[in-house]
Amino acid sequence: MRIFILAAIVLALACDSSQTESRTDSPSASPVEVQPAASASGAVAEIAPQTLLSQPAGESLVLDVRTPEEYAAGHVPNAINIPHDALESHLAELESRKDGPVVVYCKSGRRAGMAAEALTQAGFTNLLHLTGDMEAWSAAGLPVEKAGS
């Protein structure tokens, strides 16, 4: 349990520092390369919002681990919503994507860290964390889908 909490704290701190960088970048800035970020169980790579946006739809499974209400209010296009506290009960649905890439994000990083840890323990091998999470995506003025649109 301590390792799990430590991993979530480390990832949250990493998100906070990279979130500041993302907000200073202009929306037209060139994409940042994927960079590894430390986690307790290995490396979870970071993917910049602009880099994710430039990928063809469906190349990565984009997993929004916020609440259904947060997801409905606005999410990364083509993301699916599985709240972080319900993720373990949905692992069978994600089994076909075990070798990824799977991009995980939440509002600011804490829940994404918990989800990444759970996915790593379940054997997912190609996890990416959206740098700065939804806050950075929105701050960059990138497209947002809403429920029913």
* Catalytic machinery residues: 106
Provide the sign of the torsion angle of the four alpha carbons 80, 86, 87, 93, taken in this order: negative
49 Cβ partners below 8 Å, 6+ apart? 22, 130, 131, 132, 136, 137, 140, 142
Q: Looking up tokens 């800035």, which residue turns up?
A: 29
Provide the sign of the torsion angle of the four alpha carbons 109, 110, 116, 117, taken in this order: positive
Two tokens, residue 75: 């999410």
* Contact assessment for residue 60 and residue 102, using Cβ atoms and an 8 Å cutoff: yes
